[in-house]
């Protein structure tokens, strides 16, 4: 892994306020993406042969990270957001169709009697997961390997391996499945 090359910097819009550890595989194809980082000790890792075009990656807060595995495809219009010291982990061989949204927080803090009631949570997506068009993955979700999330679904709960879910909120449609790109 290495930092962005000059060509990659020219093909993408990168805004860093604070400190961002940026490691990208030499073989990754990152084109026309927006990468925003605000805070210190933040990290963005992108693995071998991963492709991202017209994707927004936002890392806000301190000690946040987004780790995208090898041979992944991030579809146009996708949005990955790690905030409040939380992490997004995407395994190998994942495929995100257009407009996938993955967010560790609700975006704004909500307080009740001066106590934060909507804390951010980590998101983990295991190997070989397919997110169809317009899927939203909310904070705290763990998606097991070989799973599929149907078009326009919102995932609010964990998904076990080899399962298809769909709907809003997403519910199990089939289990014991496999799929391939």
- How far apart, in whole angstroms, are the C-alpha atoms of residue 85 and residue 95? 25
Give the start-to-end residue ranges of the domains of the chain. 6-175
pLDDT per residue as tens, the chain (181 positions): 456 666 666 778 889 999 999 998 989 999 999 999 999 999 999 999 999 999 999 999 999 999 999 999 999 999 999 999 999 999 999 999 999 999 999 989 999 999 999 999 999 999 999 999 999 999 999 999 999 999 999 999 999 999 999 999 999 999 999 999 8
**Please, are residues 148 and 167 in contact by the beta-carbon 8 Å criterion?**
no
**Please, are residues 45 and 66 in contact by the beta-carbon 8 Å criterion?**
yes
Right CATH for 6-175 from 3.20.20.70, 2.160.10.10, 3.40.50.300, 3.10.150.10: 2.160.10.10
Cα 169 from chain centroid (whole Å): 19
């Amino acid at each position: 892994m290495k930092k962005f090359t000059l060509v990659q910097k020219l093909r993408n819009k990168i805004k860093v306020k604070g400190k961002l550890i940026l490691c990208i595989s030499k073989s990754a194809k990152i084109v026309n993406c927006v990468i925003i980082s605000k805070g210190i000790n933040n990290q963005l890792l992108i693995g071998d042969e991963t492709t991202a075009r017209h994707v927004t990656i936002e890392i806000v807060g301190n000690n946040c990270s987004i780790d995208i595995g090898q041979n992944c495809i991030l579809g146009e219009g996708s949005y990955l957001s790690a905030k409040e010291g939380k992490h997004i982990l995407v395994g190998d061989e994942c495929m995100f169709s257009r407009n996938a949204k993955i967010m560790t927080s609700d975006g704004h803090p909500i307080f009740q009697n001066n106590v934060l009631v909507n804390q951010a949570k980590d998101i983990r997506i295991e190997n070989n997961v397919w997110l169809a068009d317009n899927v939203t993955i909310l904070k705290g979700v763990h998606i097991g390997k070989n799973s599929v999330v149907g078009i326009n679904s919102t995932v609010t709960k964990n998904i076990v391996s080899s399962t298809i879910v769909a709907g809003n909120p997403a519910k199990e449609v089939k289990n014991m499945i496999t799929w391939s790109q």
